[in-house]
């Protein structure tokens, strides 16, 4: 289970446990126990974490089914997933806007309040209430 904890921790990156807990609808202590103590999450929590962290079910299945999987293997799979996500997102940005998009993403990392606002706006957009600012 340490491999899965390392996988989730690497996907979380610089996000706080609090932010991930809020996004997943779980407690901070649950995330701590998974990441640091190797506790196996229940199915509902596992689903919530996979969604919140944009994890890959194939990775989770591989780590859970391999009793010899190491924390290093979990981190390696997470780095691969992060690279895939970055490429998916980058492919959606027009070439002339890549530099501005990178500046924007970096600013979100440094401003948790702006990130929360963006998440709220995106959720509103899913319900059809998205407004341009």
Per-residue pLDDT, averaged over 89-94, amounts to: 81
Per cent of the chain over pLDDT 70 is 91
Per-residue pLDDT, averaged over 92-118, amounts to: 77
pLDDT of 132: 43
Q: Looking at the whole model, is its pTM more than 0.85?
A: no
Cβ–Cβ under 8 Å, residues 80 and 63: no
Per-residue pLDDT, averaged over 3-7, amounts to: 95
Per-residue pLDDT, averaged over 43-66, amounts to: 95
Q: In angstroms, rounded to a whole number, what is the distance separating the alpha carbons of residues 9 and 74? A: 9
Query: Any idea what DSSP says for residue 97?
Result: G
């Amino acid at each position: 289970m340490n491999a899965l904890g390392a996988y989730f921790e690497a996907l979380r990156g610089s996000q706080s446990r609090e932010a991930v807990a809020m996004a997943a609808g779980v407690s901070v202590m649950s995330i701590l126990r998974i990441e640091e103590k190797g506790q196996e999450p229940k199915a509902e929590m596992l689903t919530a974490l996979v969604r919140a962290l944009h994890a890959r079910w194939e990775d989770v299945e591989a780590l859970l089914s391999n009793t010899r999987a190491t924390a290093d293997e979990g981190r390696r799979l997470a780095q691969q997933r992060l690279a895939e996500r970055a490429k998916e997102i980058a492919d959606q940005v027009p070439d002339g806007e890549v530099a501005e998009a990178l500046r924007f993403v970096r600013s979100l990392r440094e401003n948790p309040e702006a990130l929360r606002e963006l998440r709220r706006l995106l959720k509103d957009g899913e319900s059809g209430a998205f407004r341009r600012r």
